[in-house]
């Protein structure tokens, strides 16, 4: 009699275990493998495709070069594809230089308060270089650390700025 009860219980337990394994999520369902992906062994991050994000670009004002650390977003990725690029800038409000790109970049506008050295996209087709501060909705492109030298290069006049890839001349 004990054997009749024991066998069905084992059968039921086996069915539950097998069905439980079938519904178990063994990985992250949001990641998938394709032929262009590779896995970073140290961090476990999936890197899509061969595209590498450029971390910085050079801004040239007259004969002075400034390194700009780029934010990682769709606007900066598209901007880098268009380099080298020279843009004419004029002063606005005594705290920023504004230049029209002549084309649009993707917008990721966020309300922010800028700092001197910030470079942003305004209205999708204007680049603004700040030597002061302002609060508005912008897409952040990057930042230049050498604020004192940047402010001096921008002060009191209209300027042309060339955006380019490569290493800053020492």
User: Is residue 28 domain-shared with residue 112, that is, in the same domain?
Assistant: no
Same domain, 9 and 36: yes
Q: Is the pTM of this model over 0.85?
A: no
If we measure between CA atoms, which residue out of 75, 71, 113, 108 comes closest to residue 95?
Answer: 113
User: Same domain for 39 and 76?
Assistant: no
Q: Is 76 exposed, middle or buried (0-12, 13-18, 19+ CB in 10 A)?
A: buried
Q: Are residues 76 and 6 in the same domain?
A: no
Report yes or no on 98 lying in a domain.
yes
* Total count of domains within the chain: 2
91: CATH: 2.40.100.20
Query: Is 101 found in the same domain as 151?
Result: yes
Give mean pLDDT, residues 164-170.
Answer: 73
Q: What is the residue range of 37's domain?
A: 2-47
Which has the minimum average pLDDT: 28-37, 74-83, 96-105? 28-37
pLDDT tens, 38-92?
Answer: 333 333 333 344 456 679 999 999 999 999 999 999 999 999 999 999 999 999 9
Q: Are residues 15 and 85 in the same domain?
A: no
Does residue 24 sit in the same domain as residue 62? no
- Within this chain, do residues 75 and 150 fall inside the same structural domain, yes or no? yes
Q: Both 64 and 43 in a single domain?
A: no
pLDDT tens digits for 109-133?
999 999 999 999 999 999 999 999 9
25 and 69 share a domain? no
DSSP assigned state of 81: H
Closest CA to 69 of 164, 144, 168, 160: 144
């Amino acid at each position: 009699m004990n054997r009749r009860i024991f066998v069905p219980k084992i059968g039921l337990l086996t069915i539950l275990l097998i069905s439980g394994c079938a519904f178990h999520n063994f990985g992250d369902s949001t990641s998938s493998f394709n032929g262009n992906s590779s896995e970073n062994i140290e961090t476990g991050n999936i890197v899509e495709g061969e595209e590498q994000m450029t971390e910085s670009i050079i801004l040239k004002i007259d004969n002075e070069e400034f390194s700009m650390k780029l934010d990682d977003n769709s606007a900066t990725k598209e901007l880098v594809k268009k380099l080298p690029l020279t843009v004419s800038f004029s002063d606005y409000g005594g705290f920023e230089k504004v230049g029209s790109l002549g084309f649009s970049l993707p917008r990721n506008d966020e309300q922010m308060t800028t700092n001197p050295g910030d470079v942003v996209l305004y209205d999708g087709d204007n680049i603004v270089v700040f030597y002061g501060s302002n609060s508005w909705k912008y897409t952040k492109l990057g930042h230049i650390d050498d604020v004192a030298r940047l402010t001096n290069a921008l002060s009191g006049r209209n300027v042309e700025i060339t955006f380019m890839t490569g290493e800053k001349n020492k």
